[in-house]
Amino acid sequence: MPFYNFKCKSCDTLHEEILSIEQMETFEETHQCGCGGDLQKQISVPYISMKGRTKGTPVNGYYSQSFGKHFYNKYAEQEYAERNGYVKPTWDQLDECMEKGRAIRAQEDDRAQTWTTELKKAGGDKIKAAEQTFTVKNMKKWGDMKDGD
């Protein structure tokens, strides 16, 4: 539905409404401004979106969150990335990264499960649960401590 602008005849307050065409035809007669004044429909310029370039500045295109700037298209973003040394990862690199993430989450889940179990065994005593959960054996298992530590 389009936007319509109305102006109060008494206090000159502008109102912007989203209305269907049927609603717009009766809006002036059925609604008033907060001050009690009558409303009059205003002529407004529609928003026009142009594609392509206008005098070297982007009109459309999109904003890249990765680079924090506006690009005309994906090709322009790719050219920018290559010029600045960004490399697109291979599928093998992405799989490796996902596996590392899964391993870290599994380790965190194991730590949380151990903590929960020990806390229940200790009857809610956090000090005793911490003593049983964060042992040297567990810390080495989780990678928080090395053999030389």
Choose the weakest-confidence range: 15-24, 49-58, 121-130: 49-58
pLDDT at 45: 61
Cα 15 from Cα 4, distance rounded (Å):
8
pTM reported for the whole predicted model: 0.42
* pLDDT of 138 above 80: yes
Helices (H), 14-144: 21-30, 74-83, 91-121, 126-133, 136-142
Per-residue pLDDT tens for 59-117?
Answer: 577 788 888 888 888 888 888 888 888 877 889 999 999 999 999 999 999 999 999 99
Q: What percent of the chain has pLDDT over 70?
A: 87
**Distances 20 to 3, 11, 46 between C-alpha atoms, Å:** 9, 26, 16
Q: What percent of the chain has pLDDT over 90?
A: 24
Place of tokens 């008494």: 10
Round the average pLDDT of the chain to a whole number and report it. Answer: 81
Crossing angle between the packed helical segments 126-133 and 91-121, to the nearest 10 degrees: 130
Q: Are 18 and 2 contacting, i.e. CB atoms less than 8 angstroms apart?
A: yes
Comparison of pLDDT for 111 and 42, the residue scoring more: 111
